[in-house]
């Protein structure tokens, strides 16, 4: 069962489910806008349109188009200039949350942290095995 929430668009109460994050009326309005955008990009001359060009031609807000791309409702396969910004650097991407460059950088940073952790652990083990004695007696 869903939760009772306020619609982020019109602020009316509705039951939020996994399928809908807006109320019934706003969902219907979004669906009409989706149909407009989908009809626009289905035309072969519009396949290379950017989000800005789609927004200008259809008068649908950019955030809504990005939402549809992120949740998979609007598939970007075959639409080379359509995507959404990387969460870290803002580069245009078509899947995931971050671009390849940011992903590679994150992996390198994680590797460095892991190497540092291993080095510190190795030093601790070495210090535990070291015994000092005073032979001046």
pLDDT in tens, 24-73: 999 999 999 999 999 999 998 998 999 999 999 999 999 999 999 988 88
Full-model pTM: 0.71
More confident residue, 136 or 91: 91
**Beta carbons within 8 Å of 58's beta carbon, 6+ residues apart:** 33, 36, 37, 40
| Alpha-carbon gap, residue 49 to 54, rounded angstroms | 6
In which band, very low, low, confident or very high, does the pLDDT at 132 lie, cut at 50, 70 and 90? Answer: low
Query: Is 69 in contact with 61 (CB distance < 8 Å)?
Result: no
Q: How confident is the model at residue 29, as a pLDDT? A: 95
**pLDDT for res 38:** 94
Element (H, E) at 31: helix 24-42
Residue 100 confidence (pLDDT) above 90: yes
Q: Where are the domains of the chain?
A: 3-94, 99-129
Other C-beta atoms closer than 10 Å to the C-beta of 45 total 6
- What's phi and psi for 96, nearest 5 deg? 80, -165
Residue 6 dihedral angles phi and psi, to the nearest 5°? -90, 135
């Amino acid at each position: 069962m869903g939760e009772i929430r306020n619609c982020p668009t019109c602020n009316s109460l509705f039951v939020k489910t996994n399928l809908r994050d807006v109320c019934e009326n706003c969902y219907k309005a979004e669906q009409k806008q989706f149909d407009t955008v989908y009809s626009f990009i289905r035309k072969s001359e519009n396949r290379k349109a950017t989000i800005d060009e789609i927004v200008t031609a259809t008068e649908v807000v950019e955030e809504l188009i990005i939402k549809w791309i992120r949740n998979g409702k609007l598939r970007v396969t075959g639409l080379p200039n359509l995507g959404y910004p990387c969460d870290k650097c803002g580069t245009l991407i078509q899947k995931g949350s971050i671009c390849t460059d940011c992903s590679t950088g994150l992996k390198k940073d994680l590797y460095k942290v892991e190497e540092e952790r291993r080095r510190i652990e190795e030093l601790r083990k070495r210090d535990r095995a070291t015994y000092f004695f005073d032979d001046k007696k």
